[in-house]
Structure formats: structure tokens, C-alpha cells
Amino acid sequence: MENAPVNLAQWRSRLKGARLIKVIGQVTRVIGLTVEVQGINAPIGEVCEIMVPGESEPVRAEIVGFRDGSSLLMPLGELRGIYQGCDVVPTGKPFNIKVGRQLLGRVLNGLGEPLDDCGSLSIDCEEYPVNNRPPNPLLRRRISKVMSTGVRSVDAMLTCGLGQRIGIFAGSGVGKSTLLGMISRYSSADINVIGLIGERGREVLDFIESDLGPEGLARSVVVVATSEQPALVRLKGAFVACAIAEYFRDQGKDVLLMMDSVTRFAMAQREVGLAIGEPPATKGYTPSVFALLPRLLERPGMSHNGSITAFFTVLVDGDDFNEPISDAVRGILDGHIILSRALAAANHFPAVDVLSSVSRLMPDITTEKHRALAGKFRDMLAAYKQAEDLINIGAYVAGSNPRVDEAIASYQQMIGFLRQNLHEHTDYDETLKLLTAIIDKRVNN
């Protein structure tokens, strides 16, 4: 039996890229969360190990910049025990995570490591890169199918498509996490990937047990990087969640990616940028923040095999919906859902302001009848809002405006339709039937 020919080309390629000499650098200075190292030659994004005597594991850090001949590293964890002169060894590869079906039902930290008490990840999980490029725009399939969220106000008035990216904009305490929990439980997606970035530690378990629930967690992967974690870990948490969603999309699944919140992701990048010497630009945010946002927000969407439908929450600073991060995110995404503090104060949940919100793909994925019903609903709601002050003080005279008369007659039905209990699920077809009943009643009368 003759021996098979040896493919020398692949071995030459590996040999050419191999590091035959082990380069060891040394820590020269630590300022805040930035570690300056001399003696290594590695690109931005490469992971290095800082050897700390007395510690069982090295401190992992990533190269984030350079200054005066030194490499600037930020830790992927705590800066425990590091002192001037510690050895630093480049690993020769960027930050990767383990992925596989075993991730379903698990809670991971910002570095993709188990945070729950369900044991370590299986050894047969494969390595997957975290910093991936967005898909080629010419290779994306067009969005043509509706993705039901189970939330009436969204499905009826702000219909989402399979593979669409939508922002949820609200101030603090208006119900962003609650709305995410409802969508994660009742959506038609195969798998949920939820990134809790910069969240309060207390709220994580509340979200998993109350908002997500056992049935939601069973088909979900939750990535948690709480507010006390280093800035780089919070950044990585967002990219880890996105990479896990991309892995399942590559398996042909329809994935729902939810991230709370993009604002805290931007704040983490601002910390990194300021630490390496970037000048503050718009309201203290560094230029790298606005360069990094598209790299995160453009990654979800359609591919040849599957899809990633994404909901990104934006914590609006001072209820100013035109502040820099909100404005930048709104310009990148395919729609925005505005949550109103006034509606929340009136015990109207979910507090979706349908008149200020928009789904850019709704005209492409809904039927002509659905669009007509939604348009009529908006028209009646807008007519009521315009005359609301007159109505409340009793100054409006019936018959003065047929649009307002029609809106007043239907207002309680419309509000009842838009309100929805946390554990109330309405599928897409039932939502359209309820919407038709409200509008057809007015038309027939």
C-alpha cells in the first residue's frame, strides 16, 4: 500500500506563523486598570498572561494599545498581586470562548465561563472566536418573515422581522428588563441569548427567576457582566453574547439576541479609551465608542443558514432621547421602541409609546390589511392625544371633530389592547384578530 502524499504547504504555513522563540515581557507600570509592559511584540487584541508568584493561575490581560514603546494591557479579571517586574507571556491568540449545545440553560460570566453551579463546560465544546466581523452585506438574505414576540403592542404596531435589529429606548425604571423577559418567554425564536451588561448584581437573579422564568431559561444562554466588573470584562460580555448567538445561527437556528444595555457597553469602552489616552469627544465619550458601536450592532442579522433577531436596550440619560449614544444607536438599527415614563407612571405596562416608535421593516413583512389596521389604530390614538387636554377638562364638545369622536369611543378598547400582563401571552394571529375587532367595529358603525 502506497503512502498518501504529504501536504507540505499546510505545514509550511503553520511553521511560518509559529513563534519559535518564547518572548517574555515585564510589567513596568500600573495606572488604574492599565498595565504597561515592555519587551513583548504582539498586536492589539492578543491575550497575554501575567505571571504572579504565589497565585495558582496567571492573570489574563488583553493588549488594548501602545504608548512610548510599551504595550498597554487591560485585565480580563482582577489585578491581583501584580507588581513591577512581573513576567508577561503573550499567548499568540485572541480571546476565544467555548461553545456548544451544552450552553443552553447556562449562566456565564463576561468571559464565557460558567457562573452558575451546574459544573464546568464539557471538554467537547469547540473554540469559537469572539471578535468576528459583521456578515458581508451582499451575502445577507433579505428579511421577509415576521417574528412573533408575544407582545401585542409590538406585534400589531411595530412588527419585527426575523433577522431584524431593534432598540428599546427608555430611562431607568420604566420596564426595559420586564419587556425583554416577556419577549424571551413568548417569542417564536429557537434559542435566546441574553447579555446583561453592566447590570446591578441584585437584578441578575431577579431577571432570571422572575422575568425569564424556568421555561425561558431552558432555551436560553445568559451572559452576565455586572457593573463592578472591569471595563474590559463588560466589553467582552457583549461580544461573548454576540459570538454565542452567531454560533447557533451557523447551526441553522433562528436566534433571539437581547442585550441590556448598549449604554453601559459604551460606558465601558469610554473607560478603556480614556485609560489609554483617547481624548473625550461628545459629552465625554471617546471617538472609539462610536467606532465600536457598529461593530457590535451590525453583527446580528440574516445568514445563509439561520438568523439573529436582536433587541438592544438603551438607557436614556435624563430621558433625553437625543443624547449621543441614543442618537448613534438609533441611526444604526432597523427600528426603535420608545418606553414612556408617563405611561409607566399611569400603570400602563408595557409602557410602549407606539406613536413615537417605529419598525423600519414593518411595511415589507406585513400584509396590506395589517398595515391598514395599524395605520387606522395610530390615527385614532393620535387624534385622542391631540385633544386629550380638552377632553380631560371637559372642554371638548362632542361632534366638533369626527376623528376625535371616533377616537374617544374606541380609546378604552385601544388602551386595553396595548396593556398586557407580564405573564399574558398573545400569539401573532390572535393579536391581528383583536386588532381587527377594534378597527372593524368603528368602521362598521
pLDDT at 53: 87
Residue 105 CB coordination number (10 Å): 14
Collect contacts of 285-292 with beta carbons under 8 A, ≥24 apart: 285/324, 285/325, 289/325, 290/324, 290/328, 292/266
Q: Amino acid letter at 379?
A: D
pLDDT at 1: 43
Three-state DSSP state, 241? helix
pLDDT at 16: 63
Check if the beta carbon of residue 70 is closer than 8 Å to that of residue 38: yes
**Alpha-carbon distances of 86 from 63, 75, 262, 305, rounded to whole Å:** 16, 14, 35, 47
Domain 95-364 carries which CATH code?
3.40.50.12240
Beta bridge partners of 312: 167, 259
Q: Give percent of the chain above pLDDT 70.
A: 94
Its pTM stands at 0.89
| Best CA proximity match to 343, nearest among 199, 173, 212, 210 | 173
> Can you list the residues of the chain whose pLDDT is less than 50?
1, 443, 445
| Best CA proximity match to 108, nearest among 100, 185, 57 | 100
Output the CA torsion sign for 164, 184, 215, 125.
positive
Tell me whether strands 107-109 and 307-315 are parallel, antiparallel or unpaired. unpaired
pLDDT at 234: 95
CA distance 295 to 238: 11
Q: In the 8-state DSSP scheme, what is residue 172?
A: T
pLDDT at 78: 82
CA distance 255 to 191: 5
CA distance 316 to 337: 12
Domain 20-93 carries which CATH code?
2.40.10.170
Grid cell of 91 as nine digits: 499567548
Domain segments of the chain as ranges: 20-93, 95-364, 367-439
| Best CA proximity match to 167, nearest among 354, 356, 334 | 334
Check if the beta carbon of residue 425 is closer than 8 Å to that of residue 186: yes
What architecture (CATH level 2) is domain 367-439?
Up-down Bundle (1.20)
